[in-house]
Amino acid sequence: MMDSSSSQFQLCFRSLFDSGRGFAFPCDPKGEVDLDRMSEKARNNYFYARAMIGREVTYPAVEVLH
């Protein structure tokens, strides 16, 4: 389970073809997302992004929110 520090990080999947597009999900510092706290739409987008790594999006990267 993630703690309150999870809101400081996001797991980003960047588009391979369209700069500035992609997916981002709240995560912990290790890049773990809490699927139970996601809406159904966010969960579906997360699974889609994972399935499209190397096809439509980059490997995910943990980024610190400013």
Q: Would you write out the chain's pLDDT as a tens digit for each of its 66 residues?
A: 444 544 699 999 999 999 999 999 999 999 999 999 999 999 999 999 999 999 999 999 999 998
Task: For residue 64, give the nearest of 13, 7, 21 by alpha carbon.
Answer: 7
Predicted confidence at residue 66, as pLDDT, reads 80
Provide the residue ranges of all domains of the chain, joining segments of one domain with +.
4-64
With the CA atoms of 22, 13, 30 and 8 taken in that order, what torsion angle do they form, in degrees rounded to the nearest 10?
Answer: -20
